[in-house]
Amino acid sequence: MKELWRRSTAILREHPIVWIPVLCADLLGFAAKAGGTAVMRPMLILSLAQLRGSVLTQSPDQFAHVPTAGEMALLFAAVGLVTQFLTICLYAVAAVITWSLIQTFVDDPKPKLGLPIRSAKLKGWRIFGLGSGAFGMVLCFSFIPTALLGLAMPFLPLAGQDRISLMHAMQFCVLLMGYVATAYWVTPRALSLMRPETRRPIAGGTLGDARLLAAIAVASSLAISRLCGMVERSLLNLRYPDHALARAITGAGASLLSALPYVVLFVFLSLAADEGPESLLDDGLRVIDSPADASAP
C-alpha cells in the first residue's frame, strides 16, 4: 500500500488535472440538489401556510393544487432519490475519466486519452449497472433506515432538543455504516471494470488495501460534509440569515471539500487496477493470493 500511496500522491501533485473530474461531478450534483430544493421550497411554503389556515384569506383557485403534507413528503423523497442517483452516476463518470487520465500518465507506451475513453465506453452498461447497484445499497442500508429512525424518534421519552440530537447522531451512524458497506461492495467490481481482461488477477493484499482506503474515503467525506454543514448553518444564521447567495456559495464550498477524499480514492483505485493479480470476473469474486493459484479452477 505504501508504494501505491506514494504513486498516488505524486500524481496528485504533478498532474492537477486529475482533480477536475470529481470536483466537476460534485458541483453538478450540488447544483441538481440545490435546484430540486429551490423547486420544492415554494410548494412547501404553500403547504405549511395551508396547514396553518392562513390560506383562508386567499383566493380558492390560487391554492387549488397545493399538495398535502403526505404528498410533500413523497415529493421530497422522490426528488432526493433522483438527485442522489444522478450524483452517483456523475461520480461514476468522474471515476472513468480519472482512470482514463491515469492511463495516459503511467502506461508505457503512453496511450492517447481517446483510447482509454473508448475502452470505457465499451463497458458503459456495466458501469451503469454498478452505479445502479451502489444506489440500491445506499437506499437499502442508509436512506430507508434513516427514514425509519425519523419516524420512530417522536415516540422516544426524550425532551425535544435531546430527541433531535439523538436522531442526528443515529442518522450519521446509519449513513456511515451504509456508505462503508457500499464502498466495500463496489471496490472490487470497480477494479474489475478498470482492468483489461488480459491482465492477471489482482493480489488479495492490494484488494484489501483498496477496500480499506474506500471505506476511509467515504467515512471522511461524510464526516467533512456533516461538519461543514454544521459550521455553515451556524455562521450564516449569525451573519447572513436571509442571504441566498451566501448560502449557495458556502454550500458549494462545503460540498467540494467533502469531495476531496474521492479524488484521492479514484487515483488510488486507478493505480491499483494497474497493479499485479486480480480476481474479479464480472459479478463473481475470487481472490488469488499468489501466481501459483492462477492455475486453480
Q: Can you give the pLDDT of all 297 residues of the chain as single tens digits?
A: 788 888 888 999 988 899 999 999 999 999 988 888 777 777 666 666 665 554 444 444 444 455 665 666 677 778 888 888 999 999 998 998 888 888 887 765 555 655 556 666 667 778 888 888 889 888 888 778 777 776 776 676 766 666 677 777 788 888 888 899 999 999 988 888 877 665 566 667 888 888 999 999 999 999 998 888 777 777 665 555 556 677 778 888 888 999 999 999 999 998 888 764 433 333 344 444 444 444 444
The Cα 33–Cα 49 span in angstroms is 24
**Domain annotation covers residue 17:** yes
As for how many domains the chain has, the answer is 1
| Set of cell numbers at residue 293 | 493459484
**Domain annotation covers residue 179:** yes
- In one-letter notation, the amino acid at residue 237 is N
What pLDDT score was predicted for residue 172?
A: 83
What pLDDT score was predicted for residue 196?
A: 64
**Domain annotation covers residue 35:** no
Half-sphere exposure (CA, 13 Å, Cβ side) for 164? 2
**Domain annotation covers residue 172:** yes
C-alpha 127 chain-centroid distance? 15
The Cα 48–Cα 67 span in angstroms is 10
What pLDDT score was predicted for residue 263?
A: 94
**Domain annotation covers residue 210:** yes
| Spatial contact of 236 and 247, defined as CB atoms under 8 Å apart | yes
**Domain annotation covers residue 121:** yes
**Domain annotation covers residue 29:** no
Contacts of 43 (CB under 8 A, 6+ apart): 66, 67, 72, 75
280 SS3 class = strand
The H-or-E segment that residue 129 falls in is helix 124-138
**Domain annotation covers residue 53:** no
The Cα 222–Cα 259 span in angstroms is 9
Domain hosting residue 135, numbered range: 2-22+87-292
Q: Taking the model in full, what pTM does it have?
A: 0.76
φ and ψ of 159, to 5 deg: -65, 160
